[in-house]
C-alpha cells in the first residue's frame, strides 16, 4: 500500500464521514486503518472513530469542522502517514485464557465432527494461532478476529441461540470471537473465558481494540473457576 492511496471520503451525516480504504480485507489495509485511527484520535474536534475491516467512520464536532475543513484535515493527516511504517512492535498483544470444556463449549463436538478433527486437535489449532482484531461490533467489545486456520472454518448455526453466555469463545467461517455480553448469536461455541472484555470505567471500554494481536491460552476447569469463570448459561 502506498501513501498516495488516499481512501475515498464521503459524508454520511452532518457530523460524520466514512473513509473507505479498500474493497479487499487484508492485514495491510487493517494496519493502515489502525495508523490513521491513532493519528485522528489526537485531533481536537474528533468525537468518535469506528474502524472496521476496510472502512473508518469519523464522527466530528460540527462546531469545530464543516465538510470542507474535516476533509482537508483528514487528507493532511493521512498524507503525513507512511502506511508501510507499521511493525509488529506497534501491535498490542492480548492473551485470553479459555476453558475449552464441553459444559461451556456445547458446539465443540459438532465443530470437531465437521472439521474431521478430534476435540484436542480443534483446541490445539485454535489456541496455537495468533489472530488480529479486524473490526469491533455488533455489540460493544465484540471483536472480529481472523483468520482461523483453514481446518477450523465452520458455518454459523442454522438456528441462532437466543442467549449466548458472556465470555463464550466461538467460531464462524474464518473468524473467531468472544462474546463480551449476553446476546443472541449464531456462532459455534467451543469454550469460555473468565476474563471480562468490557470495562465501563476505562477509557477504551473494551479489552480488545481494532488492530490488536490476540492469542488464546487453554486453562483447566479449576483454573477457570478460580479466575471467576461461571459454568451456567446453557
99 and 209 housed in the same domain: yes
CATH number of the domain where residue 69 is located? 3.30.1360.40
Please indicate, yes or no, if residue 36 is contained in any of the structural domains: yes
Please indicate, yes or no, if residue 170 is contained in any of the structural domains: yes
Q: How far apart are CA 207 and CA 163, in angstroms?
A: 22
52 and 152 housed in the same domain: no
161 and 173 housed in the same domain: yes
**Contact partners, residue 107, CB within 8 Å, separation at least 6:** 157, 170, 188, 189, 190
Per-residue model confidence (pLDDT) at position 194 = 97
Task: Examine the fold and report which residue of 42, 57, 89 is the final residue of a domain before the chain moves on.
Answer: 89
16 and 98 housed in the same domain: no
135 and 171 housed in the same domain: yes
Q: How far is CA 189 from the centre of its chain?
A: 17
Per-residue model confidence (pLDDT) at position 225 = 97
197 and 118 housed in the same domain: yes
71 and 96 housed in the same domain: no
58 and 170 housed in the same domain: no
Q: What pTM does this model have? A: 0.79
Written as one string, the DSSP assignment of the chain is --TT-PPEEEEEETTEEEEE--SS--HHHHHHHHHHHHHHTTSTTEEEEEE-SSEEEEEE-TTT--HHHHHHHHHHHHHT--TT---GGGSPEEEEEEB--TTT-TTHHHHHHHHT--HHHHHHHHHTS-EEEEEE-SSTT-EEEE---GGG-BPPPSS-EEEE-TTEEEEEBTEEEE-SS-EEE-SEEEEE--S--B-TTSSS-BSS-TT-EEEEEE--HHHHHHTT------
Please indicate, yes or no, if residue 2 is contained in any of the structural domains: no
31 and 78 housed in the same domain: yes
Task: Examine the fold and report which residue of 62, 89, 116 is the final residue of a domain before the chain moves on.
Answer: 89
Domain that holds residue 116: 91-226
Our count of domains for the chain comes to: 2
19 and 84 housed in the same domain: yes
Per-residue model confidence (pLDDT) at position 135 = 85
Please indicate, yes or no, if residue 85 is contained in any of the structural domains: yes
CATH number of the domain where residue 194 is located? 2.40.100.10
Per-residue model confidence (pLDDT) at position 137 = 77
43 and 136 housed in the same domain: no
pLDDT along the chain (234 residues), means of 10: 71 95 86 88 91 91 93 93 65 92 97 97 97 84 92 95 96 95 95 91 77 94 97 82
Task: Examine the fold and report which residue of 66, 89, 112 is the final residue of a domain before the chain moves on.
Answer: 89
Gyration radius from the chain CA atoms: 19
71 and 112 housed in the same domain: no
Amino acid at each position: 500500500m502506498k501513501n498516495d492511496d488516499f481512501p475515498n471520503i464521503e459524508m454520511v451525516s452532518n457530523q460524520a464521514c466514512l473513509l473507505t480504504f479498500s474493497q479487499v480485507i487484508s492485514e495491510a489495509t487493517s494496519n493502515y486503518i489502525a495508523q490513521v485511527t491513532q493519528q485522528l484520535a489526537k485531533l481536537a474536534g474528533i468525537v468518535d472513530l469506528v474502524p472496521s475491516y476496510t472502512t473508518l467512520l469519523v464522527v466530528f464536532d460540527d462546531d469545530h469542522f464543516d465538510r470542507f475543513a474535516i476533509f482537508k484535515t483528514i487528507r493532511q493527516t493521512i498524507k503525513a502517514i507512511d502506511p508501510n511504517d507499521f511493525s509488529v512492535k506497534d501491535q498490542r498483544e492480548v492473551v485470553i485464557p479459555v476453558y475449552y470444556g464441553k459444559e461451556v463449549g456445547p458446539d465443540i463436538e459438532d465443530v470437531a465432527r465437521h472439521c474431521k478433527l478430534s476435540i484436542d486437535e480443534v483446541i490445539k489449532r485454535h489456541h496455537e494461532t495468533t489472530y488480529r482484531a479486524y473490526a469491533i461490533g455488533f455489540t460493544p467489545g465484540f471483536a472480529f478476529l481472523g483468520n482461523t486456520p483453514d481446518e477450523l472454518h465452520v458455518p454459523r448455526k442454522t438456528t441462532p441461540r437466543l442467549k449466548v453466555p458472556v465470555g463464550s469463545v466461538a467460531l464462524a467461517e474464518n473468524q473467531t470471537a468472544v462474546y463480551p455480553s449476553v446476546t443472541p448469536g449464531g456462532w459455534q461455541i467451543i469454550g469460555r473465558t473468565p476474563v471480562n472484555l468490557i470495562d465501563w470505567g476505562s477509557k477504551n471500554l473494551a479489552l480488545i481494540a481494532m488492530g490488536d494481536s490476540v492469542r488464546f491460552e487453554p486453562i483447566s476447569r479449576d483454573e477457570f473457576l478460580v479466575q471467576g469463570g461461571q459454568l451456567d448459561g446453557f
